[in-house]
Every structure is written in C-alpha cells, then in structure tokens.
Structure 1
Amino acid sequence: MKIFKLIIESFRFAWGALKQNLLRTTLSLLGVTIGIFAIIAVFTLVDSLERSIKDSLSFLDANNLDIRRFPYEFGPDIPWWEYIKRPYTNYEEYEFLKKNLKNAEGITIFAVTGGETVKYESSSYTDVSLFGIAHTHQDVYDVASDVAEGRYFTAAESYTAKNVAMIGHLIAEKLFPRGDAIGKELKIKGLKYIVIAVMEEEGEGIFGDTGNDESIFIPYQSFKKIYYSGRNRGVETLVSVKGSPEDFGLVELEAEITGLLRTKRGLKPKEKNDFSVNRQDAIMNIIGSTFDVIGIAGWAIGGFSILVGGFGIANIMFVSVRERTNIIGIQKSLGAKNFFILFQFLFEAIFLSLIGGGVGLLLVWLLSLLSLGTLDLVLTFGNVVLGLGVAGIIGVISGIVPALMAARLDPVIAIRTTG
C-alpha cells in the first residue's frame, strides 16, 4: 500500500511538471521519440522483410541437403576459382545415390534456367523459368500437390524423356484464356510439349516475383535434350536429398552422401571433395545474418537521437530539482525519506521517457497501417516491449543523477531556498 501511494504521488508530480512546462518538455522528449521511432521502425521493417522473404522461400527445408559444385557459405579453405573447376553433378550420380542411399526419404535432380520464351500458335510468353525435374521431385518438394488442374507426370514419362509440361498459372491465363490448356501443344526452344497440368496460383512476391506462376516444369531427361545435362550455357544441375527427422542434424545422411559420391567419382583418400553438400537452412541463416547487420544500423541511427533525448530529459530533471528545492525541504521536514525523494524524481524521468517512447511507437504503428504493396508491416509485441524497455532505461540513466541530488539535499538549507 505504501509503495502504491508512493507511485501515485510520483505520478502526480511528473504529470504536474509535464503540464507546467509543456513546450519545454515536448521539445526535450522529441529526441527520445525520434530515437525510438528510428530503432523500432527499422526493426519492424527488417522483421517484416525477413518474414516475407522466408515465407517466399518456404519450400526450403531444414531436412534437405543439396549437392552441387559451390557451397552456400564460402570458407577460407578453398579459393573461389577452385570451385569453378569442379565437375557438375550429373544424372548418373543421381541414379547411383538413389539406389544406394539408406538414410534418405527422397531424392531428386533438377536444373533451372530463366528468360525463356514459350509459344502457342500466334501467342507467346516471355521471361519464363524453365525447370527440368525428375519424377521423384515430389518426394522432396511435394510439387505434385501444387497442381491445380491436370496431373503430375509419370515415372515412364520422366525416364523416356517425354515432351510433357506443367505450366504456371499466369502462362496458362495468357496463352489459354478460355481455360483449355490441358492437352494443348506448346513450343519451347523449337520443341513441342504437351500440357498435362496447370499449377496453382501463387501470386506476386515481395520483390515483384511471381513464383511458379511464370514457371514451366518438364521432365529432367527432356530438359537434357535442350541443355545437355546443364553443361551448355552454364545451366547447373543440382541434386537434393530429403533426410529423416530422426537423423538429427542430418549427420548420418551427409556422411553417407559424401562417402558414396567420393566412391562414384573415384576420389583417393587424400584428395579433397570436388563437390559440396549444402544444408538448405544455411540460406536462411545467411538471410538472418544480413538482417542482423541492418538491425545494428538501426541501433546506430536511433542511438544518436536517443542520446540527445536522454540529455534533454536530464536537463528537465535538473531544472525540476532546482525549481522544487523548497518543496523537497518541506517534504523532508515532514518526515519524507531520502528513498521517497529519490523514487519521486526517478519515476518522473522514467515517466517522461516512456511518453516519448510511446509516441515513437505510435508513429511506427501508424506507419504499419500504410500500404506497401506485398510487404505487410507488422509492429510485433516484442518490438513494443523493446521500445518501451529502451525508453525506460534511458529514463533511469537520465534521471538517476538529478534524483540522487534531490535526495541528498539538506532539509534546512532546501526549505530556505526560494527557487
């Protein structure tokens, strides 16, 4: 009850000081407001961007390992030009791994190239992403569930390199506006492909990308007829393996892949691997690290404003102590303890700082209401707590010295002070 009474009394003094010197207090709190706004606005933007990007990369799985020439994270052990000399992963290695892997739940081989043009009669669609995938692709990426109309291609069509295609929503909408795409013949690189499926609509992504809406999927063996296993025009083949959830960290699967592929390529025990086994969650880690750097920049930008705001609050509190010295003397003469005086002024500083921080958070919330296309800004509870926490800490730091000065005043001298 005594603590509650103390808080109420301190709040009354703080509110009185705010009303009495509204313009001075507002200008002093402006630094805290701008600082909190800058920091939390950057964090909100970073969190929203990171969430949107990771959502767009939701097909990546922490239980998948990718086999290719290059690692997703370059290390100092091998210079980048040595990676270029490595051989491409090929279909024979995919078949070898599929036959011999014991710890894999699925395996696929695929390649992709962009900027292609697909034609139907007198109509054409440009800037198409062309994927060559194995029939087993659905075991790793569950692409078959994304088929809105038609069917996924069969194992026989995959092995015999049939010219069949699954097309994206936008391609089907442009070339077949009447919705009769299934069974029609497209031309890709001069070759005819029969449409067997139309993919579900994904919509526009954060960077204006359209995902699979502008993609075409054909059997990998059919893709080879155009690009010859990825060795022509720099199209690289990638093998992706899905591990078991019981294999924590995919340690057993990675070791098995490494051993089998070294055997297949005839590498001697002392020779280094001429391939990389990459974890797909490494891409997420790289994205997270990038946004961490942006977050640090946000702290740097907002830190200067908060520093100015802290000096402003400290100035208010020093002035407040000087103006209320007589009142402090009266309070002490009536039995007020040093702790009461200390808490009173410290609470006032924290209260003022929280007002500035609250206004900054309000501005961020208003910013989040603006329409930014596909980017959905969300002021999270965590960022609200962070903003108020930083404001509270600034209040403590700014008010502790004036509060100690007020608490240590001699009551006799203070009561004689006229202001």
Structure 2
Amino acid sequence: MLFFKLSWESFRFAISALKTNLTRTILSLLGVTVGIFAIIAVFTLVDSLENNIKSSFSFLGTNVMRVDRFPFASGPQDYPWWKYFRRPPGTIAEYEFLKERLTSAEAITISASSNTTVKAGSNAYQGMALTGVAYTYPDVYDIPLEEGRFFTESEINASRNLAIIGRIIANTLYPNQEIIGKQIKIRGMKFTVIGVFEEEGEGLFDAPSKDEACIIPYGAFTKMYYTGRNGLEPTIAAKGMEEDIGLVSLENEMTGLLRAKRGLRPTEEDNFALNKTEFIQNAIGSIFDVISIAGWVIGGFSILVGGFGIANIMFVSVRERTNIIGIQKSLGAKNFFILFQFLFESVCLSLIGGITGIFIVFLLSFIQLGSLEIVLSFKNIMLGLGVSTIIGVVSGIVPATLAARMDPVEAIRTN
C-alpha cells in the first residue's frame, strides 16, 4: 500500500510540474506528436488500402483452389509461353469426376462468365457480368443476398431461366420498384429474377462487383454461350478444409485426379495449373509490408527527434528542481519516489503527444477519399500508445536515475 501511495504522489508531482511549465510542455510534446502522427497515419492508410484492395478481390473466395490453364505465379523461366495456350480448359465432365471422388475439399463447383447486356422493357444495362453457376456455387463462394433466395438444386438441374442480379442492375431496370418476380431479357432469352445481391458499393481499380453482376443456372448459361475449347472457359474451383494448411492435401489429391482424368502418363508434365486464391492476397500483403517498413522509417526519425527533445527537457527539469530533490530526500523520500516523479513526467509528456497524434489521425479518417474508406483500427491505436510509452520511458530513465541518485546535502547546496 505504501508503494502505491508513493507512486500516486510521484504521479501528482509529475502532473504539477507539467502544468507549471505549460509552454515548455507543449513545445516538448510536438516532436512526439508529429512522430506518432506520421507512423499511425501511414499504418492506418496502409491497412485501409490493403483491406480495400483485398475486399475488391473477395470474388475469388477464401481458401479456394481453382483449375486454370495459366498459373497466378510466374512459371519456370524456360517454360514456353505457347504451351499454356495449348492446355485444355476445364470441362463439366471433369467437374463431375472431381465432385464424385474428391475427399479433401468441403465443396467443389464450376462456373463460366461473360459480359453482356441485360434489358427490361425500354431500360437496358450494358457491361453486366453474367455467370452461369452450379448448385454448389454458394458452398465455395460467398453469395450475400439482400432480397430473395438462391436457386434450388432442381432448378439448377433443370436449367431454369432464373436469375439473381446486383443492386445497380435492379435499380436501372426497375427503378423504385419491387424486383423479385420481374422479367429481364438476356441475349433474347427471358429470365425471372428471384434474388438481389447485397450492395457492395464502389470498389478500387474497377474490380468486379456483385452490384453489376448476374448469376443464372449453368445449363441456362450454356444455352446462350458455347463453353470449352474454342469457347468460354469454365472455371472449376474447390474450397479446402480449414485444417488443410496451405491446401497441401487438396492440391495433391486434385493433381492426381486431374492427371488420371486427362490420361497423363507419369513422365508427362501437368497440362493444368492449380491456383490458390490466397496467392493474390499474400502478394498484396507483401507489398504493403514493405510500405509499412517505410512508414516506420519516416515516423522513426520524427520519434527520435521527439525523444531527444523530451530527454533534454527532463535534464533541464532535474536541474531546476535539484534543491527540491535534496529537501525531499532529506525528509526521507525514497530513491524510487524521486525516480518515479521524473519518469512519470516523461511518460505523461510522451503519452500526451502520442494521444494528440492519434487524435489527429482519427479526425483525418473522416475525410472522404473516393471509394477508399479510412479506418483507424484499435491495433494502430494501441501501437501508438505503446510507442509513446516506450519513448517516454527511454527518454526519461537517465534523467530520472540521476535525480534519484543525488546526494541530499549536495542537492540542497546547489543554487
């Protein structure tokens, strides 16, 4: 109890000293404010930009492996580019083959896409992303619906002319009207709307958005488009198990099954690529890791200057209060009581600067930057407070230690 009481008294002395020299306090914390602002602003911007970019690629799914002709990563340097074009695309037969035999996946689906125009009466929308899907599509990809429902298995198998559309398309074709049950026309064929996607809003880099998308049964899609070699290439995608780290088991099993289905001999190379959707997100994360390091460097110099400023002020403060220190020690004050006075003063000074810098970042987060939403995360707030505390301790520990070790007689005699 005595320790906590003395610590509280030390804290009060520190606050009193900061209030007494208010102008000096404000000037001292400016360096820390600028440093913390620079670091947290960079990290907040980087995190917000990274999250927005990753969300723009959410249509690729998570923990998903796709069968493609081209790999996401660059292949061997000596691999002829024309061999990629000679690879056969995935087929509905391969999808059915994998669906029956694959054991390392939670679900597997097939889809094919094309851009087209959709009409309803005198209204039309150009550039709609039309996708034909299997019944297992929502088991692999996220399909958030604002209204309506997904297709039933019987509707998919019967290739019914049903559609789920995005909010922008719905508002364009039937403004201010209930869309469920309405008719739309795609490539001359009539479809009944049974659902509407949740609105996503504008994304970065014109990435595909469900607001401008439409999905229909795969069989209905093949009535309008030829799929396979010399046509639109369907995409087979499998969702891996949560416990399959890195999708290693899924990749090995899919490789073996696809090689068997395509009749490849043991000496023949794979004529397909298995792409993990996490590759793109990891590549994006690597880029932003480098930017984060640059943020540390930029803010680090400001923090360093702020730390030297606080240390300098603390040495001056010790010098000004030498007599008081001598009197306190002669009256029985413990060394840690003196130490805590100056250490608390240094930490408080640094924390005030850090909190000010974080608050400025918080205010700037309300600025609209187009489709980029800036969010000051709790992680970055704690980072700013943690860095401020460390700077305060490092800057004040030496002056505080010198004050705590003063001889009381010598301290009282000092003018």
Shared fold per TM-score greater than 0.5: yes
1:88 alignment partner, SS class: coil
1:304-343: CA deviations, max 9, x gaps? 2111111110110111122122223333333444443333
Are the counterparts in 1 of residues 59 and 208 from structure 2 also a CA contact under 8 Å?
A: no
AA of the residue aligned to 2:29: L
- Tell me the equivalent position of 1:67: 67
- 1:87 aligned partner, one-letter code: P
| SS of alignment partner, residue 110 of structure 2 | strand
| Structure 2 CA distance for partners of 1:19 and 1:382, relative to 1, 3 Å | same
In structure 2, the CA distance between the partners of 1:338 and 1:104, relative to structure 1 (3 Å rule), is closer
SS of residue matched to 1:132: strand
Shift of 1:107: 2.0
1:356 paired with 2:357, answer no
Local SS of the residue matching 1:242: strand
Corresponding residue SS for 1:330? helix
**Distance (whole Å) between structure 1 residues aligned to residue 82 and residue 8 of structure 2:** 71
What is residue 41 of structure 1 aligned with on the other side? 41
Deviation at 1:383, TM superposition (A): 2.7
CA distance in 2, matches of 1:81, 1:287: 25
Distance 2:75 2:266 in 1: 21
Shift in CA distance, 166/381, structure 1 to aligned 2, threshold 3 Å: closer
1:174 maps to which residue?
Answer: 172
State the partner residue of 1:127: 127
Which 5+ residue runs of structure 1 have no aligned equivalent?
none
Residue matched to 1:220:
218
Q: Does residue 323 of structure 2 align to residue 322 of structure 1?
A: no
How far residue 187 of structure 1 moved from its aligned partner, in angstroms, is 3.7
What amino acid sits opposite 1:171 in the alignment?
Answer: I
> How much has 1:125 moved relative to structure 2?
0.8
Amino acid at match of 1:11: F
Within-5 A mapping of 1:2-401: 2-51=2-51, 62-74=62-74, 81=81, 84-85=84-85, 86-114=87-115, 116-141=116-141, 143=143, 146=145, 148-149=147-148, 152=151, 165-177=163-175, 178-179=177-178, 182=181, 184-188=183-187, 191-207=188-204, 211-224=209-222, 228-229=226-227, 236-244=233-241, 250-369=247-366, 377-401=374-398
The alpha carbon displacement at 1:204 in A equals 0.9
Q: 1:7 to 1:81 in 2, by over 3 A?
A: farther
Give yes or no for contact 1:204–1:210 (8 Å, CA) kept in 2.
Answer: no
Distance 1:366 1:172, change over 3 A: closer
Bigger Cα displacement from structure 2, 370-379 vs 318-327: 370-379
Within 2, Cα distance between the matches of 1:169 and 1:411?
A: 77
CA pair 231-169 structure 1, distance change in 2 beyond 3 A: farther
Matched residues in 1 for 2:18 and 2:76: separation?
Answer: 58
Q: Are the counterparts in 1 of residues 104 and 240 from structure 2 also a CA contact under 8 Å? A: yes
**Would the aligned equivalents of 2:61 and 2:142 in 1 still touch at CA under 8 Å?**
no
Q: Deviations over 1:352-411 (max 9, x none)?
A: 111111222222333345566766544443333221111111011111222233334344
How many angstroms apart in 2 are the aligned matches of 1:316 and 1:99?
74
Q: Which stretch shows the higher mean deviation, 321-330 or 373-382?
A: 373-382
Change beyond 3 A, Cα 1:332–1:376: same
- Residue type of the partner of 1:312? G
Q: Residue 230 and residue 329 in structure 1: after superposition, are their counterparts in 2 closer, same or farther (change >3 A)?
A: farther
Do the aligned partners of 2:130 and 2:213 also contact (CA within 8 Å) in 1? yes
Structure 2 gap segments, 5+ residues each = none
Indicate if the aligned counterparts of 2:165 and 2:197 stay in contact, CA closer than 8 A: no
| Paired residues of 1:146 and 1:199 also in contact (CA < 8 A) | yes
Q: How far has the Cα of 1:2 moved from its partner? A: 2.9
Contact in 2 for aligned 1:6/1:344 (Cα 8 Å): no
Whether 1:407 and 2:404 are equivalent positions in the alignment is yes
% identical aligned pairs:
56
Query: Normalising to structure 2: TM-score of the pair?
Result: 0.83
> Secondary structure of the residue that 1:241 maps to in structure 2?
strand
CA contact (8 A) 2:39 2:295 kept: yes
Describe the superposition over 1:256-304 as per-residue Cα deviations: whole angstroms up to 9, x where unpaired. 2110111222323233323222333444434443443333233222212
Q: Out of 13-22 and 316-325, give the one that drifted further.
A: 13-22
State the secondary structure of the residue aligned to 2:398. helix
Query: How many residues end up aligned between the 2 structures?
Result: 412
Asked if the contact 1:91/1:229 (under 8 Å) is kept, the reply is no
- Residues 38/336 of structure 1: CA separation in 2 closer, same or farther (3 Å cut): same
In the alignment, the residues of structure 2 paired with residue 262 and residue 324 of structure 1 have an alpha-carbon distance, to the nearest angstrom, of 82
